């Protein structure tokens, strides 16, 4: 046998071995077919062995020695297979003998102990008949493949999958994932099943498991996620389930799962039942609205007498003008026609003034649903100033207005209440000061409009600036107004912020933000 150029452990072992008395004789006397098959396995990097003749004399290559046999078999080269690995022969004999009879055999997984390392391993073995020059079967080619790393990875994945299944099953959030494009539900955790009243979900499509969702647009959202590959998030989304009298609310995300080619194969749905939180949020908004209404009603106690005085003046004036017009009319003097017309016009103006006072007062105490719309800040400031003048709470404070950004999205009455409160505080803080003036300004800040009210009064209470907007702060709430804590509640409910600071040249500055309307 030619071993020139084959420098490996097996060839060196062949050269050193004493073949005298061996049934096959020395290598140079071995059959040509055996030498050919040996050369084939020796140059192969894969673990291979030749089982030669009826006795299955075993020859291996270096890869087989390292991977499956180990150094303890170095002196057994050429031994019969059943003597080489007696512990494996009961399992492998059937397959090896089938190959000797001309039937190739493939064993997918053999659980065994590696003789080289002593560790458990999983092996795939292939036994192929070897045909000689005469056409007869002269041996068996044994090929071994170590599946242990792949099996370990598979078991690890199964363990991780089992762990995730347990984690998802115990999670309080809603979890399910479905196959694209039919949205066949592959998994749904108990929280998801409970949300749907214990319906069978797994193994069914979304349309089959919850047909009412299609009309509510949920399957359309799945189509969008599957088509674009982008996640979709819903917050406090209403869900009307059959058999339940009231809709429920859910916050959730549809997350696309992509394969290596970037194609969406599944969609993961996770979220939580937000019904209680949504109802609590709605109740809080209702209570806030009712509190605002109550505060407006209580404010009427301080402005009732002033309002009566303010109404008395235009009504008395209009009565006087009408009495004068009547006298002109009774005189029959046509030269008084111009004076009579002027008297009627003045009376109408005074009556209109009284009606305006009544209208503003009615809007202040009217209880209705809080609605946001595009409103004019200039009009809100004008109405707030007129209300303070009518109630006598302005106290001679001069109000300068500079509106750079006029239009915001807000509840007009609530914004006027905030301005009334801030201007009333400015009037109280400016009492007895040399400069009794307030400036109201508005400027665009990104998507918001910042409104400021500043004065030159006594400034903020020392050491209490941080607590100005607390619910139990020591800011006076007497007279017209709803308190700075409710001002903060109103502004934050609009998505804005409110704050205050002292001015370097004296006085204080309050500022709050509201969402800007288009073109503000």
pLDDT at residue 114 tops 70:
no
pLDDT at residue number 520: 59
Alpha carbons 231 and 266: distance in angstroms, whole number: 12
Averaged pLDDT for residues 144-158? 77
pLDDT band at residue 396 under the 50/70/90 scheme: confident
pLDDT at residue number 180: 93
In this prediction, what percent of the chain has a pLDDT beyond 90? 26
pLDDT at residue number 26: 79
Averaged pLDDT for residues 14-21? 68
Do 48 and 63 meet the contact criterion of CB atoms below 8 Å apart?
A: yes
Q: How does pLDDT run across 342-366, given as a tens digit for each residue?
A: 878 887 877 877 776 666 555 555 5
If one counts every other C-beta atom within 10 angstroms of the C-beta of residue 246, the result is 10
Averaged pLDDT for residues 234-250? 88
pLDDT band at residue 441 under the 50/70/90 scheme: very high
pLDDT at residue 464 tops 70:
no
pLDDT at residue 271 tops 80:
yes
pLDDT at residue number 475: 45
pLDDT at residue number 476: 45
Alpha carbons 47 and 321: distance in angstroms, whole number: 120
35: phi then psi, degrees, rounded to nearest 5: -65, -35
Q: How does pLDDT run across 185-211, given as a tens digit for each residue?
A: 988 888 888 888 888 999 999 999 999
Longest CA–CA span in the chain (Å) reads 162
- Give the strand pairing for 137-146 and 48-52: antiparallel
pLDDT at residue number 323: 82
pLDDT at residue number 482: 46
Name the one residue in this structure whose structure tokens are 């006076």: 476
pLDDT band at residue 484 under the 50/70/90 scheme: confident
Averaged pLDDT for residues 385-413? 86
Q: What is the 3-state secondary structure (H, E, C) of 101-112?
A: CCCCEEEEEEEE
Alpha carbons 56 and 24: distance in angstroms, whole number: 12
Which class for 138: exposed (0-12), middle (13-18), buried (19 or more C-beta within 10 A)?
Answer: buried
Averaged pLDDT for residues 445-463? 89
Measured CA distances, 396 to 341, 356, 456, 509 (Å): 35, 21, 14, 19
pLDDT band at residue 478 under the 50/70/90 scheme: very low
Which of 221, 258, 256, 257 minimizes the C-alpha distance to 237? 221
Please give the residue that has the higher pLDDT: either 367 or 351. 351
Averaged pLDDT for residues 48-69? 85
Which of 187, 191, 214 minimizes the C-alpha distance to 201? 187
The full set of domains in the chain, from first to last, is 9-151 (3.30.450.20), 171-273 (3.30.450.20), 283-370 (no CATH), 371-520 (3.30.565.10)
pLDDT band at residue 472 under the 50/70/90 scheme: very low
For 178, the 3-state DSSP assignment is strand
The length of the chain, given as a count of residues: 520
pLDDT at residue number 361: 57
Averaged pLDDT for residues 76-103? 85
Q: How does pLDDT run across 279-311, given as a tens digit for each residue?
A: 877 777 777 777 666 666 655 554 555 456 556
pLDDT at residue 400 tops 90:
yes
> What is the pTM assigned to this prediction?
0.38
Name the one residue in this structure whose structure tokens are 């080489």: 84
pLDDT band at residue 479 under the 50/70/90 scheme: very low
* Average pLDDT score over the chain: 81
Three-point CA angle 449, 454, 457, nearest 5°: 165
pLDDT at residue number 308: 62
């Amino acid at each position: 046998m030619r071993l020139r150029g084959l420098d490996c452990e097996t060839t060196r072992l062949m050269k050193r071995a004493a073949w005298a008395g061996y049934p096959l004789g020395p290598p140079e006397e071995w059959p040509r077919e055996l030498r050919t098959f040996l050369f084939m396995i020796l140059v192969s990097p894969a673990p291979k062995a030749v089982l030669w003749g009826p006795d299955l004399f075993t020859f291996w290559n270096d890869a087989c020695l390292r991977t499956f046999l180990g150094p303890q078999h170095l002196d057994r080269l050429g031994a019969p297979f059943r003597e080489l690995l007696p512990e494996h022969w009961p399992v492998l004999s059937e397959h090896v003998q089938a190959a000797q009879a001309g039937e190739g055999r493939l064993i997918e997984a053999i659980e065994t102990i590696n003789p080289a390392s002593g560790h458990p391993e999983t092996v795939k073995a292939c036994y192929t008949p070897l045909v000689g020059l005469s056409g007869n079967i002269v041996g068996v080619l044994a090929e071994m493949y170590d599946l242990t790393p792949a099996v370990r990875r598979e078991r690890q994945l199964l363990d991780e999958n089992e762990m995730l299944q347990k984690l998802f099953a115990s999670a309080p959030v809603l979890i399910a994932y479905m196959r694209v494009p039919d949205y066949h539900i592959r998994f749904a955790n108990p929280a998801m099943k409970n949300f749907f009243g214990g319906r069978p979900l797994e193994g069914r499509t979304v349309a089959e498991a919850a047909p009412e969702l299609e009309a509510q647009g949920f399957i359309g959202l799945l189509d969008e996620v599957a088509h674009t590959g982008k996640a979709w998030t819903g917050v406090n989304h209403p869900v009307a389930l059959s058999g339940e009298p009231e809709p429920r609310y859910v916050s959730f995300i549809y997350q696309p799962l992509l394969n290596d080619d970037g194609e969406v194969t599944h969609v993961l749905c996770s979220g939580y039942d937000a019904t209680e939180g949504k109802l609590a949020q709605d109740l809080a908004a209702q209570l806030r609205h009712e509190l605002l209404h109550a505060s407006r009603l209580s404010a009427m106690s301080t402005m009732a007498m002033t309002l009566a005085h303010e109404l008395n003046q235009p009504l008395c004036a209009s009565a006087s003008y009408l009495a004068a017009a009547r006298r002109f009319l009774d005189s029959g003097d046509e030269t008084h026609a111009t004076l009579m017309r002027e008297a009627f016009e003045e009376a109408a103006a005074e009556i209109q003034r009284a009606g305006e006072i009544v209208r503003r007062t009615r809007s202040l105490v009217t209880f209705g649903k809080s609605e946001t719309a595009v409103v004019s800040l200039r009009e809100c400031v004008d109405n707030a100033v007129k209300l303070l003048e009518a109630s006598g709470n302005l106290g001679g404070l001069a109000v300068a207005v500079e509106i750079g950004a006029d239009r915001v999205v807000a509840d007009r009455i609530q914004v006027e209440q905030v301005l009334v409160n801030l201007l009333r505080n400015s009037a109280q803080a400016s009492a007895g000061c040399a400069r009794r003036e307030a400036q109201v300004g508005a400027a665009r800040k990104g998507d918001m409009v910042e409104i400021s009210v500043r004065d030159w009064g006594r400034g903020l209470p020392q050491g209490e600036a941080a607590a100005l907007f607390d619910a139990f702060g020591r800011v006076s709430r007497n007279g017209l107004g709803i308190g700075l804590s409710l001002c903060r509640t109103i502004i934050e409910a609009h998505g804005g912020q409110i704050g205050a600071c002292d001015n370097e040249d004296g006085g204080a500055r309050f500022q709050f933000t509201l969402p800007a309307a288009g073109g503000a």
